[in-house]
Amino acid sequence: MRRVAVKIAYLGDEFVGSQIQPDMRTVEGEVLANITLISGLSEDLIGLRTASRTDRGVNALGNVIVFSTMFDDLVLLKALNAVSKGIFYRSVATVDNEFNPRHADERIYRYVLPATGIDTAKAERCASLFEGEHDFIRFCRADDRSTRMRMNSVKLAKNNDLIVIEFRSEYFLWNMIRRIVASISAVGRGDADIDDVKRALNGEPISFGVARPDALTLTDVVYDNVEFITPSAELFDDRVDEELFRWSLRSAFFNSL
């Protein structure tokens, strides 16, 4: 057997978060069930590991899982996509036995806001405050990790009637992006000002709330020395076509109200 890293995509509202929980439909639970079904291997032999945990409702386009397999790349991705319900297996790379997906060089997230009522210039100035090294204790749900860390970049752009914010860092704290977005949105709407955010970054006990989860997407997990390969551009065309058709039906319904 060999160890492989596979990039996966999913819509967060189809799962109760990513981490396995008893009697709950989770991303890791679905992935493990898919691998077990096509391989017949035990959970211990599969040795599933995940790069990033995502909260309930949060989406992913490029989360990474690592496990052991006997299949070659094309057969593996085809088989997994054939049995999957809600997970899209996008690309694959061979890794060594010591590879830990948690040790990524960078994680990239995207958050989308409706632009209506938001002053883009103010929101952009607010977003820039979070770049560099800070203590993010007022912008996360604390766990056992240090809240002092470095944010590589926060880029905000208006795209028609949407505001798209991209976050890049080696890792992120629990609820961190959604709390930061809540502050950016508050400043852009005029419900808070830049000084309020600066004071929170300096440790004052100021909360701006938590933004909704379904507008947040983990777009990629980057490893400088790992090359992912997509063996076929048609891995899940039929599934995508069906989902797009279903969404077009829903769109037509709501546009007719």
Residues noted as catalytic: 55
Structure tokens at 143: 């766990």
Q: Which two tokens stand for residue 97?
A: 């036995």
User: Which among 177, 213, 210, 178 is positioned nearest to 13, based on CA atoms?
Assistant: 213
Cα–Cα distance for residue pair 225/110, rounded to 1 Å: 23
6 contacts: CB under 8 Å, gap ≥ 6: 64, 65, 66, 67, 76, 77, 80, 89, 90, 91, 92, 93
CA distance 90 to 7: 5
| φ, ψ of residue 52 in degrees (nearest 5) | -140, 135
* Residue 136 structure tokens: 């993010």
* Calpha distance 253→257 (Å, rounded): 7
